């Protein structure tokens, strides 16, 4: 006599909804980081061109400022979830 094959567990719809919310939240954080760093870098690049700087001081400083602002937002968002 053969034993019946075990059935795979059925996915829980509430668990899938929670998973999708998490994916949406964290992909939104990634998009926000990209926008913050990209816009601040572009603004620095524009300022360097406007003032005709030979060294890209505005680009570097605004890019770092955008990076720190984006990381601050990520840390704040993740710590708020817990």
Opening angle at CA 60, ends 56 and 62, nearest 5: 115
* 3-state secondary structure at position 1: coil
* pLDDT tier, 72 (very low <50, low <70, confident <90, very high otherwise): very high
Instruction: Give the per-residue pLDDT at 16.
Output: 84
Task: Give whole-number Cα distances, 56 to 31, 39, 40, 47, 66, in Å.
Answer: 25, 16, 13, 9, 15
The larger pLDDT score, comparing residue 80 to residue 41, is at 41
pTM of the model: 0.77
4-48 residue pLDDT tens: 777 777 767 778 888 888 888 889 999 999 999 999 999 999 999
**Is the predicted pLDDT of residue 58 greater than 90, yes or no?**
yes
């Amino acid at each position: 006599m053969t034993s019946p094959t075990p059935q795979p567990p059925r996915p829980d719809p509430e668990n899938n909804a929670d998973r999708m919310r998490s994916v949406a939240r964290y992909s939104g954080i990634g998009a926000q980081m990209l926008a913050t760093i990209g816009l601040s870098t572009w603004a620095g690049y524009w300022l360097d061109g406007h003032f005709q700087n030979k060294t890209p001081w505005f680009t570097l400083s605004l890019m770092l400022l955008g990076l720190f602002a984006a990381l601050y937002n990520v840390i704040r968002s993740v710590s708020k979830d817990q």
